[in-house]
Structure 1
């Protein structure tokens, strides 16, 4: 005795269709891992960016006299009150590497800051103190070691435009690198290097005595 297709409930037909779709998807995923078929299901990246445009040019009078390389391990944890970490919360372990340059702004040196004797054998220069540039994080040497997320955070990542965003830990890494640079004595090294450079330059021009001071 045969059973008429019209007597099969609608939900059974829908369940059967879904099961068939899942079977097909699983078969496709398995086939994509076979040798020779990887390129068929692979992805291709295309760079459709436009040309870079020159917006402005700025003359630089800074003498970059020293550069420091820094590395910091950032451990950033965000918790939510009244909810366990497994439900809502994140913890990211991030290694941030970057550089900070120290410079002397020679553009601030005025006519009264340079004194030369009549015989042009002695010169005195008064320069501004060395300063630190903005910390520059190196993306090639910075990376996330681990990232733990609660269930709600994982669900939010599914609908986020940037699920792997690390802006918070990157900003924190830059802040720590800047603080380390201020405590490193990098500006003192920059002033010494600037002094050595100016003394060598002026002595090559015939000056026998060169005195460089800082404090403007």
Structure 2
């Protein structure tokens, strides 16, 4: 094997085109080797994969939402948003069970009820001091009701008398009474609550104002007074008689006599 052939084989083994032998003419130019490919960094491939997976998951979620009904979709979206919201509030109820203090049997027949609405305007001034400095005025529209009832608890056998022929029954009842007024806080409302500067500063330390409590107490007294002056007790008396006549007549009595003492 000649020296030239050995050089040619060595060049082929190194991956380069063989050089023309010396003395064979003009040498041909050698083409440059192709550049080596650069591989994608692993962190970039991972990021692209995460974004593609997130896009697919979002597409699945929105597809499910579009397939659900409006109410289910809104509920699902609300739960999803509340779950992702870091400022979502929650309520924890640590209240204890109610404790029974007393129990009493009642035998009242409510025979009438009256509804009232009263405007209470209370103003408390401080002498020689302007109203914007000290003093307060409270105007409330208070709604309440009063029941008229007959108390059957104290009735005895002597209160009911039946005639010898069994056709007449006589019932003796106590006079109707008026219950304490009940204030309906849901329908009552405040129209004006003006306080002076000193009283407003005091509100920071005492949130339960005495003026509102006084206004509610005054409204309760006015409703009770109005019920006493009305014919609510007469209406209760008439309704009681009518009710007993229907009940006892159905029991076989021809005549029912009701007296109040």
Whether TM exceeds 0.5 here: the answer is yes
Please state how far the C-alpha of 1:165 moved relative to its aligned partner.
6.7
Decide whether aligned partners of structure 1 residues 108 and 80 sit closer, same or farther in structure 2, where only a CA change above 3 A counts: same
Residue 177 of structure 1 aligns with which residue?
A: 223
Residue 82 of structure 1 aligns with which residue?
A: 128
User: In 2, distance between residues paired with 1:40 and 1:176?
Assistant: 52
Residue 205 of structure 1 aligns with which residue?
A: 251
Are 2:152 and 1:96 aligned? Answer: no
Please give the per-residue CA displacement for 1:68-90, whole angstroms capped at 9, x wherever unaligned: 11110100111111211111111
Decide whether aligned partners of structure 1 residues 168 and 128 sit closer, same or farther in structure 2, where only a CA change above 3 A counts: same
User: In 2, distance between residues paired with 1:179 and 1:42?
Assistant: 51
Decide whether aligned partners of structure 1 residues 164 and 131 sit closer, same or farther in structure 2, where only a CA change above 3 A counts: closer
Please give the per-residue CA displacement for 1:49-84, whole angstroms capped at 9, x wherever unaligned: 221122222111111111111110100111111211
Decide whether aligned partners of structure 1 residues 40 and 70 sit closer, same or farther in structure 2, where only a CA change above 3 A counts: farther
Please state how far the C-alpha of 1:125 moved relative to its aligned partner.
1.2
Please give the per-residue CA displacement for 1:160-211, whole angstroms capped at 9, x wherever unaligned: 1435972111111111111111112111111111111110000000000011
TM-score, length-scaled by structure 1: 0.76
Please state how far the C-alpha of 1:46 moved relative to its aligned partner.
4.8
Residue 119 of structure 1 aligns with which residue?
A: 165
Please state how far the C-alpha of 1:152 moved relative to its aligned partner.
0.7
User: In 1, distance between residues paired with 2:93 and 2:221?
Assistant: 32
Residue 111 of structure 2 aligns with which residue?
A: 65
User: In 2, distance between residues paired with 1:44 and 1:184?
Assistant: 51
Count of residues in correspondence between the two structures = 178
Residue 191 of structure 2 aligns with which residue?
A: 145
Decide whether aligned partners of structure 1 residues 42 and 192 sit closer, same or farther in structure 2, where only a CA change above 3 A counts: farther
Pick the aligned partner of 1:196 from 232, 238, 242: 242
- Higher normalized contact order (CA 8 Å, seq sep 6+, divided by chain length): 1
User: In 1, distance between residues paired with 2:240 and 2:172?
Assistant: 12
Pick the aligned partner of 2:200 from 146, 149, 154: 154
Residue 20 of structure 1 aligns with which residue?
A: none
User: In 2, distance between residues paired with 1:92 and 1:41?
Assistant: 38
TM-score, length-scaled by structure 2: 0.63
User: In 2, distance between residues paired with 1:133 and 1:193?
Assistant: 17
RMSD across aligned C-alpha pairs, in angstroms? 2.1
Please state how far the C-alpha of 1:47 moved relative to its aligned partner.
4.1
Rg bigger for which structure?
2
Tell whether the 8 Å contact from 2:161 to 2:169 is kept in structure 1 after alignment. yes
